[in-house]
Structure 1
Amino acid sequence: MGVRAWDTHSVRARPNRRGWGLVPRLRFTAEDLLRVTFADEPAPMVELTLAVAALQRSDPLFAPWRRRTVRTLPRSAGPLRELVPATGKGPLFLDPPARGFDEGLDGVLSTPARFVRAELRRVHARGTRPLPWTRLLADRDGEAWRILEAAVRAARATMLEPAWDRVRAGFDAERAWRLQQLARQGIRTTLAGLAPGARWHGTALELGGADTEGAAEGLEFALDGQGITLLPSVFWTGRPLVGTYPQGTFLVYPAVTPLPLLDDPGRPHAPTALVALLGRTRAAVLECLVQPRTSTDLVRELGLAKSSVSEHTKALRAARLTTAQRDGKAVWHSCTPLGLELLGGFPA
């Protein structure tokens, strides 16, 4: 993730054109709190960049994943590791929060030369030695950009594609749990729960004190009524990152369940763990409802008869594991906090 440029001459940090940064304090207005939203799905380019950073971080939780990934990562992906360090503070143009990989990669490849040049100059100003091919990126050299595109595609094929179902499952579970928390405890408690030790001081959310990593990058980021979109990541385990893009301002934070726990073969799969209690089909229905779905969705995704879906959802509601809400002719089902705890072991 790229570091945001800050105006250190003012108390309030002024964001540059776009990018990501560690921010000790977020300043909300009442309008901002009304405009807090959750992303609908993970952003592939953001997750890919964070995966490259995780590959180089010393987090022991990711150690088995790092060993497996290093063995399978092709040499063609190497240039991406040369651009993204363990801190994740690489060039800002590498990780737009686009909803699809192709859309995100198109955004990377179409970055204006002036912005590429400025970002590479910023990255290399920190003491990293520029490589010949990265210097050519700033000149829009065709071969250099083909190297970068090949590196992104190779890294995606090795790190993202095999794990994408788990990435999406972790994202959906995290989002569902936070929305339940929002309904039960309100927006201030939900936002304060995104980082260990986070706390409110008036309308400012403290995400890290002066002794935390990145505290010098900016004193405060004021949202000024534009709101913010929450984007959980199963690869990131550091402090929340704030980034402003044409699509809006995003807060990337670590999902409660990181990828290694989703990926751990010793961790019981939810339907298998619950099958003795609920039955195989009912457990599968419960797992699907980590993300809200209609009865028609369940019929299509699980290959069940409509009457069977009705029977299973009724039983799950009676056990207070799911809820149902009618919207016109459709009935939307979703997990309750109890259902989420049974599936993923999330805290109450």
Structure 2
Amino acid sequence: MTKVREIDLRSDAVTQPDEPMRLAMARAEVGDDVLDRDPTMQALEERAADLLGIEATLWVPSATMGNLVALMVHLRRGDRFIAPRGAHVLDDELGAPAWLAGGMPEAVDWGAWPGRLPVETVRQAARNAPYHMLRTTLLCLENTHNAAGGTVTPPDEHAKLVATARDVGLRVHLDGARLWHASVALSVPPAALTVGVDTVQVCLSKGLGAPMGGLVGGTSAFVQEARRVRKMLGGGVRQGGIVAAGGLMALERIPDLANDHVNATKLATGLKEIGWEVNEPETNIVLVSTPDADATLAVLKKVGVLGVPAGGRVRLIPHRDVTTKDITEVLSRVATLHA
């Protein structure tokens, strides 16, 4: 019996470096980044800072470490930080912000739009009581919001949230693991979505083909301190130019993310026509509402379609290694389940 070809929609982090990227990595100029900097890694950090409109960035092995580094710099032990309900820093980073950064997390409910915080909700959540109670010092935003279905916070709304945070005495960290997706969806430069933040983290492996890595950045003073924290966490690398070369090429592929957004819309529209209940994707994340996510995933796997559970729903993410023809094939396979 011939095994059906699997179409992997579990995540856009499953994208693989293609031959041009592998060649660039093999030929990268390298140095010892811990001792006296790696030239290719330095070029990546400078290019990313320029794209994000900030003073400096620091390469980190993963987006999760990028968030943790920022929170360790920002928080004192026992400080409360607030973030949108379902944020990655709350639910998907193994409690490290509390365990290692010493912060007390608090989820803030969304407003009328999934993943996006109302200004007044932030103001109310940023309460600071007498000295013997928790002190709120940091707002963590997420753009796009993964668990909400890749929803996007536009520049004007972002600016209002940052202004509110400043008004109530909060610093702001932006988890921008998929900030590139938000930039493409809104047709604005990435720097338009980082205005006013103290720190931002971005990922290089989600949809862009780089095998690993992210960047965390802010002021030059922040990056100087972040470099020490990264080393403390075991994230200092030696000849990092090998992976940084892949990261540089990944940044050139940001416009390609538009194809993934188109494919997500095609997938969602097709699933609706079949009778499935799905979200209206703003970027490349499709969420399927189902009474039993595990059962639905098992059925999909039988026809060679891979997804993951996400908050009681099934998550399917088109990416650069999945073509429009593949999406058509997914819809054809799902249709056979209802024949």
TM-score, normalisation: structure 1: 0.28
Larger Cα-atom Rg:
1
Q: Give the structure with the larger helix fraction.
A: 1
